[in-house]
Structure 1
Amino acid sequence: MKNCLVVDDSKVIRKVARHILESLDITVSEACDGREALSQCQSGNHDVVLLDWNMPVMSGMEFLQQLTATHSSRPKVIFCTTENGLGHIKAALDAGADEYVMKPFDRDTLESKLQIVGVL
């Protein structure tokens, strides 16, 4: 079974993502900011990270940069955010994100992105 870390400061978004991911037979863990997520990535074994951009303590972009710098083999990263400008998308992909999905998302969209990055 695959493992996903959902990183979002919104409890509602984490709950919705968990529901969708579990319906796809993916085990889910959660973090409310980038620092907590980084800690979980150091001690856990995640196949994919569903990552929000704007969070307190450590943003999604800061998390991605630190994860890439400290992990030679890291999980796939899918940014999941309301930031829809081409500049944000390009910055995320340039920083190492594997995919990008806009909020609000549905099961079909998330399933498609997970297939693209090779998790499903």
Structure 2
Amino acid sequence: MQTCLVVDDAPVIRKIASHILLQFGLAVESVANAEEAREWIKENGLPDIAIVAACPSDSAGPQLVDDMRRMAKGTGLVILASIVDANLGLMTRLKRAGATDYIYKPFDRDALRSWIKPYLESSAAA
């Protein structure tokens, strides 16, 4: 079973994303910030998929993406940056840090499924 770590400071986003992702057959954990994510990774290892919230006024998102990418050392870790709008500067920083792709908030089940489906194992994608 693939694991997914959701990192977002908004409790409602963590709850909704976790609920939806569980329906896709993922083992889901969620944390509120980059520091909690680092602690979770230290205790559990890297997830298969990480959804990391990022905003233009805070460098924590791109820094966490960079840290996770370095920890992954070439493994198949998928890091999806969760952003509110198509901010080119933020998107560039996230991509340079190692983000695989982007997810736009707010999202619903269908939107989240379309963004994450390419990264699901075949049994979970059904």
TM-score range, shorter chain: 0.7 to 0.9
SS at match of 1:12: helix
Residue 99 of structure 2 is matched in structure 1 by 97
One-letter amino acid of the structure 2 residue matched with residue 80 of structure 1: S
Compute the displacement of 1:75 (Å).
2.5
Match of 2:118 in 1: 116
Asked if the contact 1:68/1:74 (under 8 Å) is kept, the reply is no
Query: For 1:86, which of 81, 88, 107 is the aligned residue?
Result: 88
Deviation at 1:90, TM superposition (A): 2.4
Compute the displacement of 1:3 (Å). Answer: 1.0
TM-score for the superposition, normalised by structure 1: 0.85
| Structure 2 CA distance for aligned equivalents of residues 95 and 47 of structure 1 | 17
Cα distance, 1:83 vs structure 2: 4.0
Is the 8 Å Cα contact of residues 4 and 48 (structure 1) preserved in structure 2? yes
The answer (yes or no) to whether the contact 2:6–2:28 under 8 Å persists in 1 is: yes
Q: Which runs of 4+ in 1 moved over 3 A?
A: 117-120
Aligned residues: 118
Query: With structure 2 as the length reference, what TM-score do the two structures score?
Result: 0.81
Q: Residues of 2 paired with 1:23 and 1:8: CA distance?
A: 19
Specify the alignment match of 1:53 in structure 2: 54
Deviations 1:56-90 (A, max 9, x none): x9711111112223331362100112142122222
* Structure (1/2) with the larger helix percentage: 2
Answer yes or no: is the 8 Å Cα contact 2:63–2:97 preserved in 1. Answer: no
Any gaps of 5 or more consecutive residues in structure 1?
none
How far apart, CA to CA, are the structure 2 residues paired with 1:90 and 1:58? Answer: 12
Q: Describe how 1:1-120 pairs up with structure 2 within 5 A.
A: 1-45=1-45, 46-54=47-55, 59-72=60-73, 73=75, 75-119=77-121, 120=125
Determine helix, strand or coil for the equivalent of 2:54.
coil
- Structure 2 Cα separation of the partners of residues 70 and 76 of structure 1: 12
Structure 2 gaps of 5+ residues are none
Secondary structure at the aligned position of 1:4 is classed as: strand
